[in-house]
Chain A
Amino acid sequence: MACIRWCAMALAMAAVPAYAQQPDTAKLREEIKQLQQRLDELEKKQQETENTAVQAAQQASSRPQSESALNPAVSAILNGVYGNLQRDPDTYRLNGFVPTLGDVQPPKRGLSLGESELGFMANVDHLFRGTLIASISPDNDAIEVEEGYIQTLALSHGFTVKAGRFFSGIGYQNQIHAHAWDFTDAPLAMKAFLGGQLNEDGVQVKWVAPLTAVYVDLGAEFGRGRAFPASDRNKNGFGSSNLFGHVGGDIGTDYFWQTGLSYYSTSPQDRVYTDLDSTGTSVDNSFSGTSKLWVLDGILKWAPDGNATYRSLKIQGEYFHRKESGTLTYDTAGASLGAMTDSYASRQSGWYAQAVYQFMPAWRVGYRYDQLNAGTTTLGLVDSGALTAADFPILGAYNPKRHTAMVDWSPSEFSRIRLQVARDYARQGEPDNQIFLQYIVSLGAHGAHKF
Chain B
Amino acid sequence: MRIFFGFLVFLLPFKVFALNVFACEPEWASLAQELGGDKVSAFAATTAKQDPHRIEARPSLIARIRGADLVICSGSELEIGWLPLLFTQSGNDRIQLGSPGYIEASQYVVKLEVPRVVDRALGDVHPAGNPHIHLDPRNIQRVADAVSGRLAEIDPGNADFYRQRADSFRDRWQTAIKRWQQEAAPLKGVAIVVYHKDFSYFINWASMREVGSLEPKPGIPPTPSHLAELVEQMKRNPAKVIVYSAYNNPGAAQFLSERATIPTVMMPFTVGGTDRAKDLFGLFDDTIERLLKTVK
Name A residues whose Cβ lies closer than 8 Å to a Cβ of B. Answer: 51, 54-55, 58, 62, 123, 126, 129, 151, 153-160, 206-217, 246-250, 253, 256-258, 301, 305-310, 361-362, 411-414, 446-451
Contact = CB atoms under 8 A, between A and B. Distances in A.
Interface stretch (B88-96, B224-232, B256-264): B88-96
Interface in B69-100: 77, 80-82, 84-85, 87-94, 96-98
The bracket for how many chain B residues form the interface is 35 or more
A403 B235 CA distance: 52
Nearest to A161: B91
B11 A211 contact: yes
B50 interface: yes
Contacts of A306: 46-47, 49-50
Interface stretch (B58-66, B150-158, B186-194, B236-244): B58-66
B240 to A, nearest CB: 26
10 contacts: A210-B12, A211-B11, A215-B60, A248-B60, A250-B60, A306-B47, A306-B49, A307-B49, A308-B54, A449-B81
A249 B114 contact: no
A120 to B, nearest CB: 14
B93 A154 contact: yes
Nearest to B178: A40
Nearest to B20: A212
Contacts of B81: 413, 446-449
B92 A156 contact: yes
**Residue of B8, B91, B97 with most partner-chain A CB within 10 A:** B91
Nearest to A44: B138
B242 to A, nearest CB: 18
B110 interface: yes
B88 A450 contact: no
A249 B60 contact: yes
B91 A159 contact: yes
A58 B76 CA distance: 14
Nearest to A361: B221
Contacts of A256: 56, 58-60
B292 interface: no
A60 to B, nearest CB: 12
B6 interface: no
B11 A213 contact: yes
B282 interface: no
A440 to B, nearest CB: 15
Nearest to B65: A208
Nearest to B55: A449
B11 A307 contact: no
Given A214-B63, A411-B220, A253 B93 contact: no
B114 A258 contact: no
B93 A156 contact: yes
B110 to A, nearest CB: 5
A159 B56 CA distance: 21
B111 A58 contact: yes
Given A156-B92, A450-B57, 5 more contacts: A55-B110, A208-B63, A215-B62, A413-B124, A449-B82
A447 B57 CA distance: 12
A215 B114 contact: no
A209 B62 CA distance: 10
A212 B293 CA distance: 42
Nearest to B43: A212
